[in-house]
Amino acid sequence: MRMRTRSGPVRNENTHQAILEATAMLFAREGYDRLTIEGIAHEAHVGKQTIYRWWSSKGDLVAECLVAGMLLPDRLTLPDTGEIREDLRQWLTEIFRIIAEPETEGMLRSLISGAAENPQIGSRIRESLIGTDSVTGRLEAGIGQGQNLYEGAPFDEIAEALIGAVVLRALSRTPPSEEDAIRLIDAVIGPELPIPQSQR
């Protein structure tokens, strides 16, 4: 049985890519709020209509960039050494650096702004954070390495609290320090056990 497909030309992949790249570039340079469809169209050497044909809004477009991993630096993946506390510390330190550095300082906030406006962006962010192969999964794998990491612990909520704290920091523009990362980890998975071996 044959699929009945419409005739006529088909989406131009070069164009598609050029638009995403222009979006990512301008997002990085201008931030979500100052991003304009016209600016993207111009930058990508593309007609506005071509953008509106495939995306219904600025938010949609940014969301696709986000899933394509074009908005945030690669360094944002949670490392995996087995030592959950250390992994989180490095990861948070990296994120905090992004929040603090003048160049990238607005990116996360911009993304939050986009998420507040556009459902797709919000979901994407949540999905990418709470997914199994992500923070939650790592926490689960670290059972026993923190007071809160026991069998059946609310891993999703712990992850949410962790990321949420980061988001809040970004919003309040309080540049975080290295120690803040450690304190935050203590806050969500409990402090390092004070009494070692014998306890076990």
Partner DNA sequence: CTCTAAACGAGACGGTACGTCAGGTCTTTCC
Partner DNA sequence: GGAAAGACCTGACGTACCGTCTCGTTTAGAG
* Dihedral angle sign, alpha carbons of residues 44, 50, 54, 59: positive
How far is the C-alpha of 26 from the C-alpha of 18, rounded, in Å? 12
How far is the C-alpha of 136 from the C-alpha of 189, rounded, in Å? 12
Question: 121: left (phi > 0), else alpha (psi -120 to 50), else beta?
Answer: alpha
The helix (run of H) or strand (run of E) holding residue 10 is none
The one of a copy of itself, DNA, none whose footprint includes residue 192, by CB under 5 to 8 A per kind, is none
Q: Report the residue from 35, 63, 109, 135 that binds a copy of itself according to the rule CB under 8 A.
A: 109
Q: Is 88 exposed, middle or buried (0-12, 13-18, 19+ CB in 10 A)?
A: buried
Q: Tell the smallest beta-carbon distance from residue 35 to DNA (Å).
A: 7
Within a 10 A sphere around the Cβ of 147, how many other Cβ atoms? 13
Q: Report the residue from 29, 53, 173, 183 that binds DNA according to the rule CB under 7 A.
A: 53
How far is the C-alpha of 83 from the C-alpha of 141, rounded, in Å? 10
3-state secondary structure 163-177: HHHHHHHHHHCCCCC
**81/172 with CB nearer a copy of itself:** 172
State yes or no: residue 117 binds a copy of itself (CB under 8 A).
yes
State yes or no: residue 11 binds DNA (CB under 7 A).
yes
State yes or no: residue 50 binds DNA (CB under 7 A).
yes
Q: Tell the smallest beta-carbon distance from residue 110 to DNA (Å).
A: 14
Contact string 166-195 vs a copy of itself (x = CB under 8 A) = xxxx-xxxx-----x--xx-xxx-xx----
**Selected range binding DNA among 12-20, 133-141, 173-181, 185-193, rule: CB under 7 A:** 12-20
What DSSP designation does 101 have?
Answer: S
Q: Tell the smallest beta-carbon distance from residue 40 to DNA (Å).
A: 8
Residues forming contacts to a copy of itself in the complex (CB under 8 A) are 32-33, 109-110, 112-113, 115-117, 119, 122-123, 125-126, 147-148, 150, 153-154, 156-158, 160-169, 171-174, 180, 183-184, 186-188, 190-191, 199-200
